[in-house]
Amino acid sequence: MLKIDRYRAFVNYFSEHQPEAVTELKYSNPYELLVAVILSAQCTDKRINQITPKLFERFPSPKDLAESTPEEVFQYIRSVSYPNNKAKHLVGMGQKLWNEFNGIVPSNIEDLQKMPGVGRKTANVIISVIYNAPAMAVDTHVFRVSNRIGLTNRAKTPLEVEKQLVRHLPAESIHIAHHWLILHGRYICVARSPKCDVCPLTWFCKYYQQSQTETALKRLEKAKLQKAKDGQKKKNAIKISKGLKKYEIDK
């Protein structure tokens, strides 16, 4: 299957079945999304959604974070991964956002990446979710699923995956394709044992097609071996039978 056809099948399927895919992080404004995405690194959205209501209640704006301390923020985020670092990042981000950007979340990745705790992935999430920009944030799900389906080819780093996806996806689908890949990776194309038996993408998934070919080849090999064994058994039986006949005649 040509790559262009695989991309077309991918976009067509999800445009029809998940036209409204969105992030599972709960937020009510760009600042809250920025906080939630910083917290979500190496952690589940479910866990983040459990702790953000109280965090947002105590720190409703970047000014509140800017005026706080990592020690205080830590109390609200202690159950997420790397709470010490993230508490420092949140306070630093609040200060930067409040002092240098008037509390307004920037719409470009260069400015976003100036903030503590904000790398390329987080910046891409913000501009694609908030501003619908054609940016692809590559997390572990996007990396794995796009590779399995065959949307990417020998991409070894998240940046390579990002570049290949952005190059081939229609510009207007890039921001939503990020959610399609994440949700598919979270619920069907899971890391250890992808649920191919219930996956609707098998007909164009490279991983599935390769695994089917491998299974068919293994079956063929097994059948050949069995045939060879049966042939040998038959030969042995004939040999024994001939031996017996000869034995009887000799008698």
Q: Which residues bind ligand SF4 (CB under 6 A)?
A: 148-149, 188-189, 194-196, 199, 201-202, 205, 207-208
Closest distance of CB 220 from ligand SF4, Å: 22
Closest distance of CB 23 from ligand SF4, Å: 20
Residues in the chain: 251
CB of 28 or CB of 193, closer to ligand SF4:
193
Catalytic residue (choose from 86, 88, 96, 139): 139
The DSSP line for 138-184 is --HHHHHHHHHHTSSSS--SHHHHHHHHHHHS-GGGHHHHHHHHHHH
Chain centroid offset of residue 3 CA:
19
Any catalytic annotation for residue 121? Answer: yes
Any catalytic annotation for residue 114? Answer: no
Closest distance of CB 11 from ligand SF4, Å: 14
Burial of 226: CB neighbours in 10 Å, binned 0-12, 13-18, 19+: exposed
CB of 141 or CB of 175, closer to ligand SF4:
141
CB of 130 or CB of 190, closer to ligand SF4:
190
Tally of CB atoms within 10 A around 18:
14
Catalytic residue (choose from 63, 121, 206, 222): 121
Closest distance of CB 74 from ligand SF4, Å: 38
Tally of CB atoms within 10 A around 222:
10
CB of 83 or CB of 185, closer to ligand SF4:
185
122: closest CA among 158, 75, 168?
Answer: 158
**Hey, which residues are catalytic here?**
121, 139
